């Protein structure tokens, strides 16, 4: 603001000086016309000297003021710059502190989160390694046909243990003493024949591994021809199993006239049911009923209800026999009561006769007195 005022004054003075020079020029022209040239030149020289003197003084004064103003402005600018630098430094320090603190917090949280994720990943990798090992072991197990049969046997045993009591089924039962063939399990059923306590229902676990895997592979390929071929092979294998069970394990009257074929996988059982007429033809031709994990449980549950019904019937017969004994004994007791009544009546009559004789004797004694 002061710089602007100073420039305004300087311009004003320059204007005045210009005006004085114009005025000097007018005076010179006027005096020239009057004819006194020497005096005019002296006057002009004097005016010029005065103007130059005034202008020099003004210039020096102006330069001095301008220098003061410049120094003042520079000082103020320096002070402002210093203050701004100090403020900026404080702001920078504050921002750095906050950023450092925030960064440390965020980095700490991030590292903690990363560590947790890494720990979870490491745990998952360990579980995956264990799972991969287990899958490898399971694959080895499932590629072994004998092992698959054992798995079906273990599964069937678990179902039997859940549904029946230990004395209601036997393991590795031999229906024919003259043969070494043994059925995996046989359920004890009450026999209706006299002299026989139990009759056995054979249950054998079967797993057509190769044929079932071939059918699943055909489904994956989507080839209808391969599906039909694999299905025919599976049907043929199921019939072979049924014929084997019939020839080895169905031995009436030791066993029932039918047996159970247990398929340990629901999908395999569903494939058997999907073939039209296969289930019925197996029952009709080989007297073998095919079951899966669910249906065999329902079948055993029905047997359990049958056991309870037979137990009730058995107890009912015992109760009737007991009631018959009670009826006979009660009849005897009635006869005894009748005899006792007759004896009591005879005794009553004798007592009455004795009382009558006693009164007669008493009257005679009174009359004699």
CA 183 to CA 174: how far, in whole Å? 6
Residue partners of 211: CB distance under 8 A and separation at least 6: 230, 233, 234, 237
CA 305 to CA 74: how far, in whole Å? 112
Those residues of the chain that have pLDDT short of 50 are 2, 34, 132, 135-143, 145, 147, 319, 323, 330
What pLDDT is attached to residue 16? 64
Region of 260 please: left (phi>0), alpha (psi -120 to 50) or beta: beta
CA 253 to CA 202: how far, in whole Å? 12
What pLDDT is attached to residue 241? 95
What pLDDT is attached to residue 249? 93
User: Mind listing the pLDDT tens digit for each residue in 143-182?
Assistant: 454 545 577 888 899 988 988 888 889 999 999 888 888 9
Cβ distance 211 to 233 under 8 Å? yes
Cβ distance 199 to 256 under 8 Å? yes
What pLDDT is attached to residue 328? 60
From residue 102, alpha-carbon distances to 94, 113, 320 in Å are 12, 16, 92
Residue partners of 304: CB distance under 8 A and separation at least 6: 163, 164
User: Mind listing the pLDDT tens digit for each residue in 329-347?
Assistant: 646 655 676 677 677 677 6
CA 45 to CA 96: how far, in whole Å? 72
């Amino acid at each position: 603001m002061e710089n602007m005022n100073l420039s305004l004054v300087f311009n004003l003075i320059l204007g005045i000086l210009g005006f004085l020079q114009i005025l000097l020029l007018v005076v010179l022209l006027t005096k020239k016309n009057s004819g006194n040239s020497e005096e005019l030149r002296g006057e002009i020289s004097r005016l010029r000297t005065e103007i130059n003197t005034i202008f020099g003084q003004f210039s020096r004064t102006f330069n001095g003021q301008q220098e003061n103003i410049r120094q003042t402005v520079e000082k103020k600018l320096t002070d402002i710059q210093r203050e701004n630098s100090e403020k900026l430094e404080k702001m920078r320090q504050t921002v750095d502190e906050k950023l450092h603190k925030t960064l440390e917090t965020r980095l700490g949280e991030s590292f903690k989160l990363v560590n947790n994720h890494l720990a979870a990943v490491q745990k998952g990798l360990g579980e995956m390694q264990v799972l991969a090992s287990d899958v490898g072991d399971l694959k080895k197990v499932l590629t072994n046909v004998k092992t698959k049969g054992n798995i079906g046997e273990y599964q069937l045993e678990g179902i039997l243990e859940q549904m029946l009591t230990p004395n209601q089924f036997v393991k590795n039962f031999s229906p024919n003493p003259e043969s070494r063939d043994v059925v995996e399990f046989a359920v004890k059923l009450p026999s209706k024949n006299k002299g026989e306590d139990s009759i056995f229902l054979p249950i054998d676990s079967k797993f057509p591994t190769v044929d079932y895997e071939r059918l699943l592979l055909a489904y994956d390929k989507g080839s209808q021809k391969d599906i039909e071929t694999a299905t025919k092979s599976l049907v043929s294998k199921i019939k072979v199993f049924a014929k084997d069970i019939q020839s080895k394990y169905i031995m009436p009257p030791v066993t029932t006239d039918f047996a159970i074929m247990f398929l340990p996988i629901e999908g395999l059982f569903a494939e058997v049911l999907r073939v039209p007429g296969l289930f019925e033809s197996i029952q009709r031709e080989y007297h073998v009923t095919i079951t899966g994990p669910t249906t065999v449980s329902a079948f055993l549950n029905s047997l359990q209800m049958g056991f309870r019904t037979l137990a009730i019937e058995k107890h009912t017969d015992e109760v009737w026999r007991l009631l018959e004994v009670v009826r006979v004994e009660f009849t005897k007791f009635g006869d005894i009561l009748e005899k006792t009544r007759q004896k009591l009546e005879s005794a009553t009559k004798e007592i009455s006769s004795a009382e009558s004789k006693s009164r007669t004797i008493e009257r005679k004694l009174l009359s004699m007195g």
